Amino acid sequence: MVAKRIIPCLDVKGGQVVKGINFEGLREVGDAVEMGVRYSEEGADELVYLDISASKEDRSTFTELVERIALGINIPFTVGGGISSLDDAARLLDRGADKISVNSAAIASPRLISDIADRYGSQFVVCAIDAKCLNGIWRVTTHGGSRLTERELFSWAKEAQERGAGEILFTSMDHDGTKAGYACEQYAMLEEMLSIPVIASGGAGSVADIVDVLTRGRADAALAASIFHYDEISIPALKGALTAAGVPVRAVL
User: Which amino acid does the sequence have at 217?
Assistant: G
Q: Whole-angstrom Cα distance, residue 6 to residue 32?
A: 18
**CA distance readout (Å), 182 to 217, 227, 239:** 8, 13, 18
The three-state secondary structure class of 179 is coil
- Burial class of residue 87 (count of CB atoms within 10 Å of its CB; 0-12, 13-18, 19+): exposed
Q: Identify the active-site residue in 11, 88, 115, 220.
A: 11
Reply yes or no on whether 115 is catalytic: no
CB 202 within 8 A of CB 210: no
Nearest residue to 252 (alpha-carbon basis) of 70, 77, 75, 79: 75
User: Which amino acid does the sequence have at 31?
Assistant: D
Q: Identify the active-site residue in 45, 88, 130, 212.
A: 130
- Structure letter (DSSP) for residue 231: T
CB 77 within 8 A of CB 48: yes
Q: Whole-angstrom Cα distance, residue 108 to residue 86?
A: 14
Q: Whole-angstrom Cα distance, residue 126 to residue 124?
A: 7
Active site residues: 11, 130
